[in-house]
Structure 1
Amino acid sequence: MNFEIYCDESGLEALSHKEAHLYTAIGGIWMPADYRDIFKEHINAIKVKHNVYGELKWNKVSPKFYALYKDIIDYFFQTEQVRFRTILIEADKVDNYVFNNKDIELGFYKFYYQLLHHWIFDFNNYNIFLDLKVNRDKTRLKALRNSLDNSNLTSGIKQVQGLPSDESLGIQLADILTGLTNAKFNKEITSTAKLGLIAHIENTYLGNTIAPTPKWEEKFNVFKINLQGGW
């Protein structure tokens, strides 16, 4: 089966300035490739309903647009073809000097590998789209694709490509859910609209607070990586 994965990040600055946030998050939206057009049709219909035509982003959530983002979240949770996974990284435990030869960018893409690798399954093909970035090392995406391909020999990693987020509704949904989850763990939110969306997910769909989940949680998967080692 052919799948597409759309990815974005939240709190990325904490990987280089640890005082910025407690956590950095990287998240992805998984969907069957043949569902993409239906997904776009439904998301665009929600935007038209609310008379919104610009890019969807967690940072744009406000009381004025609360109903829009609530409808987007409801669509996600009520649509079995679309899944979400995020990796939470404790900023103060990241040691790029020891593990990444002082290369923060390399460390960042190693975390991307951890996000993706554990949800790539045998006998499927994957096209992976990341929010477009200017990397110091221009081979980062090629190296990520090769690493994923080499460690998943019975699946095909067809491409890992950067896309501008304003051109991809999948990346925009990843931005919303990744930003929301990271905001919950960073405990920095004062926005009533953002707090309302978090409460809506917890009360309506999870029945509990947003927290790390088992690997096998298929709909809303939160992986808090252990950077301390040990058993």
Structure 2
Amino acid sequence: MKFEVYCDEANPDVLTSSKPRARHLMIGSLWLPEELRNEIKSRVGALRERHQAWGEIKWSKVSPNRRDFYLELIDLFFAHGDNLRFRCIAVDRTQLNLALHDNDGELGFYKFYYQLLHHWILDFNTYRIFCDIKSNRDPRRLPALARCLTRANLTSKIDDIQSLPSQEVVLTQLCDLLLGAASSRINDTLRDGTAKASVVQRLESALGRTLAPTHKGEEKFNIFKIRLQGGW
């Protein structure tokens, strides 16, 4: 079966700044069968039309006057059941030892990208992966990621990994929204009574639980908080 994966990140300065804005780096991914892509894009387009919401979909743009639009995007995510899935990884900067990554934050970032993706790549499937465009010091990062994923998943096929500007890819934008909601709980930045709080509450109500690190077998909305210091 052919799948597509749309990825985005939040707080990448965790790996590069001495004073990052948040405790956790977050990298998110939205997974769907290739055949579902056009239907979801069409449904998002219909929501844009109804709410006259033509700007880029982003967590940072959730506001009172766009609240209902973003709530319906959450409903759309759940309307497709397990055919539309989200997974993110949370990296705690207080446990991070960049010496293990050659003191290279960019290298560490792509190692965590690998951990995000590898565990959801299943045998006998084909995957196309789309990352938000990012200026890398080393232009070989994405080819290296593709090579590592291919070598680790010999009975599946990584057809392509490419970076595209998120403002042109609506499914990357939807990933940004879901990632922002997860990050607001993991990084404890959510304020009660805001439009963003309403979006998170809608998401948590549909899941039947608070957004928090999940068991590795969670398939609909998986939050992988990596343990960099070991343990159970």
Same fold (TM over 0.5): yes
Unaligned runs of 5+ residues in structure 1 are none
> Where does residue 226 of structure 1 map in the other structure?
227
Does residue 83 (structure 1) correspond to residue 77 (structure 2)? The answer is: no
Aligned partner of residue 69 in structure 2, secondary structure? helix
> Where does residue 159 of structure 2 map in the other structure?
158
Does residue 140 (structure 1) correspond to residue 141 (structure 2)? The answer is: yes
> Where does residue 117 of structure 1 map in the other structure?
118
Per-residue CA shift, 1:113-153, capped at 9, x if unaligned?
A: 00000000000000000000111000000000000000000
> Where does residue 94 of structure 2 map in the other structure?
92
Aligned partner of residue 219 in structure 2, secondary structure? coil
> Where does residue 10 of structure 2 map in the other structure?
10
> Where does residue 207 of structure 2 map in the other structure?
206
Q: Could you tell me how far 1:15 is from its partner in structure 2? A: 2.0
Aligned partner of residue 30 in structure 1, secondary structure? strand
Q: Could you tell me how far 1:54 is from its partner in structure 2? A: 1.6
* Aligned residue pairs, count: 229
Tell me which amino acid in the other structure corresponds to 1:197.
V
Aligned partner of residue 25 in structure 1, secondary structure? strand
Cα distance in 2, alignment partners of residues 125 and 19 from structure 1: 36
Aligned partner of residue 7 in structure 2, secondary structure? strand
> Where does residue 69 of structure 1 map in the other structure?
70
Cα distance in 2, alignment partners of residues 169 and 225 from structure 1: 28
Cα distance in 2, alignment partners of residues 55 and 23 from structure 1: 24
* CA RMSD, Structure 1 to Structure 2 (Å): 1.2
Tell me which amino acid in the other structure corresponds to 1:139.
R
Aligned partner of residue 149 in structure 2, secondary structure? helix
Q: Could you tell me how far 1:78 is from its partner in structure 2? A: 1.6
Aligned partner of residue 145 in structure 2, secondary structure? helix
Q: Could you tell me how far 1:189 is from its partner in structure 2? A: 2.7
Aligned partner of residue 222 in structure 1, secondary structure? strand
Compute the TM-score of the two structures, normalised by the length of structure 1.
0.96
Aligned partner of residue 157 in structure 1, secondary structure? strand
Cα distance in 1, alignment partners of residues 94 and 65 from structure 2: 35
Does residue 180 (structure 1) correspond to residue 181 (structure 2)? The answer is: yes
Aligned partner of residue 184 in structure 1, secondary structure? helix
Percent identity between the two aligned chains: 47
Q: Could you tell me how far 1:187 is from its partner in structure 2? A: 1.2
Instruction: Tell me, yes or no, if the aligned pair for 1:11 and 1:182 is still in contact at 8 Å.
Output: no
Unaligned runs of 5+ residues in structure 2 are none
Shift >4 Å, 4+ stretches: none
